[in-house]
A and B are shown apart, each in its own frame.
Chain A
Amino acid sequence: DAKTTQPTSMDCAEGRAANLPCNHSTISGNEYVYWYRQIHSQGPQYIIHGLKNNETNEMASLIITEDRKSSTLILPHATLRDTAVYYCIVRGTLNTGTASKLTFGTGTRLQVTL
């Protein structure tokens, strides 16, 4: 699976949008971009995933560049409860044989402040 690069940490004021970038320049055509987050001492929580098109759900939006070499996770109105480590993961499809593996990098520690 392609390696991802994320900033180590970011701050965001409560109520503002949090934009978390991720570089995945070696992503291949059949690999998806997944985002998970981990609040302290809890298991990871799925946020969103996408292949080419931008995606939005009740938690966040995912913007993927046209060349797919980078993406941005957007939390539109961050709250204190969004303070967590956010992981960007690139994962292949099932027919690659290792698609189910999620390889976690170091992630971005997002601190939402008052």
Chain B
Amino acid sequence: GAVVSQHPSRVICKSGTSVKIECRSLDFQATTMFWYRQFPKQSLMLMATSNEGSKATYEQGVEKDKFLINHASLTLSTLTVTSAHPEDSSFYICSARDKGAAYEQYFGPGTRLTVT
């Protein structure tokens, strides 16, 4: 149980275009989902926290107008990278907190974004 999926697993897009990444909790309800970014040979950096039905909370230094997060249901959150640039190329990882569990947080497999 407790599986989180991400789609797509890899995406290549041209500079200036927008890309949407989906994060789904497959067998549990997630009131809270988190989005992380990881550059090569670096650790995961939290970008934002999204709660179902409300606006996301962004970490300092993360542009909310560039990284649009929508958490419309208890099983789906989306991250849209708008007007992507090569410096946005990274590994994007989501995680979801199980509504029924106090502390458990499960991670998705990640999405590799390459902007050319």
Contact = CB atoms under 8 A, between A and B. Distances in A.
A42 B112 CA distance: 10
A41 B91 contact: yes
Nearest to B59: A101
A94 B95 CA distance: 17
Given A32-B103, A101-B49, A102-B105, A41 B43 contact: no
A37 B5 CA distance: 18
A26 interface: no
A95 to B, nearest CB: 10
A44 interface: yes
**Chain B at the A interface: SS class:** strand
A103 interface: yes
B93 A100 contact: no
B107 A44 contact: yes
Measured as residues with beta carbon below 8 angstroms from the partner, the interface class of chain B is: 20 to 34
Contacts, number: 51
Contacts of B45: 104
B90 to A, nearest CB: 12
Interface in B59-112: 91, 93, 95, 97, 102-110, 112
Contacts of B110: 41-43
A105 B106 contact: no
Nearest to B31: A100
Closest CB pairs A-B (n = 7): A43-B107, A104-B44, A104-B43, A44-B107, A43-B110, A43-B109, A43-B93
Interface of B: 4, 6, 32, 34, 36, 43-46, 49, 91, 93, 95, 97, 102-110, 112
Given A43-B6, A100-B97, 5 more contacts: A43-B95, A43-B107, A43-B109, A46-B104, A107-B43
